[in-house]
Amino acid sequence: MEHGHWLNASLVYLAAAVIAVPLARKLGLGSIIGYLGAGIAIGPFGLQFVRDPDAILQFAEFGVVLMLFLIGLELEPPRLWAMRRSIFGWGSAQVLGCALAVGGVALLLGVSWPVAVVTGLGLALSSTAVALQVMQERNLMGTAGGQAGFSILLFQDVAAIPILALIPLLAPKVQDSGNPWSEALRALAVIVGIIVVGRLLLRHALRWIARSGSPEIFTAASLGLVVGLASLMHAVELSAALGAFLGGVLLAESEYRRELETDVEPFKGLLLGLFFMAVGMSIDFHAVREHLGSVLLLLAGFLAIKALVLWVLARTVAVPGPERPVFTLLLAQGGEFAFVVFQQGADAHVLTESQVSVLIGTVALSMLVTPLLLVVMDRWVLPRYAQQSVDNSPHALTEPQEAPVIIAGFGRYGQVVGRLLYANGLKATVLDHDAEQIASLRGFGFRVHYGDATRLDLLRMAGAASAKVLVVAIDDVDQSLRLVDLAREHFPHLTLVARARNVQHYFALRDRGVTLVERETLDSALASGRSVLESMGWAPERASELASRFRTHSVAQLEALWPHHRDEKALVSMARKGRQQLEELFAQERAQRDDRERP
């Protein structure tokens, strides 16, 4: 395949992803497992469509670089500076703690101390690609556990400087390995140069490019910027992702931030998928089979050791209890930078080729099993842990409630509903599963209780048997539907008022007999549209009337579409017809208005 036309190779990668990823998601395994499985299937130890995964891996790592650039765009320098203690405090505690623990066990097993040091440092690192992808998919970046995990992952990229400087010092012949401290100083100089030059020139350069009025040139400049920063870091043997992250932070306050995000995002998704496929291809199953016992023991051992250290760290940095299992598992796996560390160890003659094969195979397997372990955790561990957390929470329900209204989910949507009820003298029992948010809301006088509203015993305690209305305002679509099913079965007298995240969620709620459903973005979007009309000269009353009529038409159209939502052809046809009817209605009104205004 590597000697064939590049179109054939592209077809193989795309076909493998298109088949494997939807299948994995349908089985509840997640997209990462789909990409890894696709890579294994087409790689050297599968169908052998691709025989040189290293070349693909080097190219696909650019997906991780783009991801860090986009994350940097979300972090303004003041916010990053505010995170300095968590980055260098928690990050150094994780890297040093895990490296000492893994290296110490290796020494106890009779491994030489240089090998133990390199092994400990390499296995202490986690996969930025897997961890951040999972956190973004689960919307965890804004949680305490997500922020702690991100800080640690960012420090691991920074830790590349001392780690790569240390390995040559462990070589049997240090005099042949150059001066690692001068290389470290050069690396620091490059980082400082990126920060200084970036602050002075980047925004002006983008402004000049934007004046060309060519969107494709701005896209090329966006990619060129990331490639240039990554190349600079690679030239001094540092993490290319760290350079891209710094560039993103420097542009986080610029007026081009959103444009850069829009241009880079599609490339990031595709290349990240290719990166996971390349990791699957790179697993050397021959080496794994040859040293199967050692690999399995090493895999189980380092995952257990890192998990123990991370669990202690999670308790120390006050990661909420329900978030600790996912935080621990995501950071316990090995990382892609470990490949570089171990290869550097081989180049310095600290590790043998056999040791490198075993270590790299172990790290790649850890990246493969982590999404699988997440599935196991979601299905069997987290529900029990959540129940235990509810029982132990200081804000858990301990006495039966008698309020006529129950609000499940007290995020932005639920809070608006709750505040309206409180302002009009109505009492409500509020349930939410975010411990930190509950503590904050209670400080403002809201009586919010910690708990999973999809638990039958908790619903009974909340007073569902005597309440009149249940407001379903949960963020997660699956949990929202689960709560509706539970309420329909055990408390059929309840009037359900539900929030729909999107049209498919709306249809699923209507299928369950819920009639009072509101799409969460409809009214806010119409309010903005009404403001636009007024700004363009429409009278406020007329703008309000038009928005109201549009809302009525939109709701009616959605109700008309609902019985046919499983028939894609009918759905598309009716949607097109509905848009046409609305356009004709507004055209008639415009014509009538013109006739009235004509002298």
What Rg do the C-alpha atoms of the chain give, in angstroms? Answer: 28
Based on the structure, what is the number of domains in the chain?
Answer: 3
Residue bearing tokens 């903005």: 528
Confirm if 256 and 210 have CB atoms less than 8 A apart: yes
Q: Is residue 45 part of a domain?
A: no
pLDDT of residue 2: 47
- Count CB-CB contacts under 10 A for residue 189: 11
CATH number at residue 134: 1.20.1530.20
Q: Which two tokens stand for residue 515?
A: 């009639």
My answer on whether 68 and 130 are in the same domain is yes
User: How many Å apart are CA 206 and CA 525, to the nearest integer?
Assistant: 31
Residue bearing tokens 């462990």: 170
pLDDT of residue 592: 59
Q: Residue 423's closest CA among 448, 446, 407?
A: 446
Q: Residue 509's closest CA among 468, 458, 470, 463?
A: 470
Q: Is residue 5 part of a domain?
A: no
3-state secondary structure of 495: strand
pTM: predicted TM-score of the whole model, two decimal places = 0.62
My answer on whether 401 and 505 are in the same domain is yes
My answer on whether 472 and 573 are in the same domain is no
| Residue range(s) defining the domain that contains residue 570 | 521-599
CATH number at residue 483: 3.40.50.720
My answer on whether 439 and 525 are in the same domain is no
Low-confidence ranges of the chain (pLDDT < 50): 1-4, 174-177, 389-395, 598-599
Residue finishing a domain among 355, 385, 415: 385
User: How many Å apart are CA 258 and CA 192, to the nearest integer?
Assistant: 25
* 140-162: pLDDT as tens digits: 776 778 888 888 988 887 776 67
User: How many Å apart are CA 190 and CA 194, to the nearest integer?
Assistant: 6
Q: Residue 234's closest CA among 62, 390, 392?
A: 62
pLDDT of residue 599: 47
Identify how many contiguous H helices and E strands the chain contains and give both numbers.
30, 6
My answer on whether 453 and 553 are in the same domain is no
pLDDT of residue 59: 67
My answer on whether 118 and 196 are in the same domain is yes
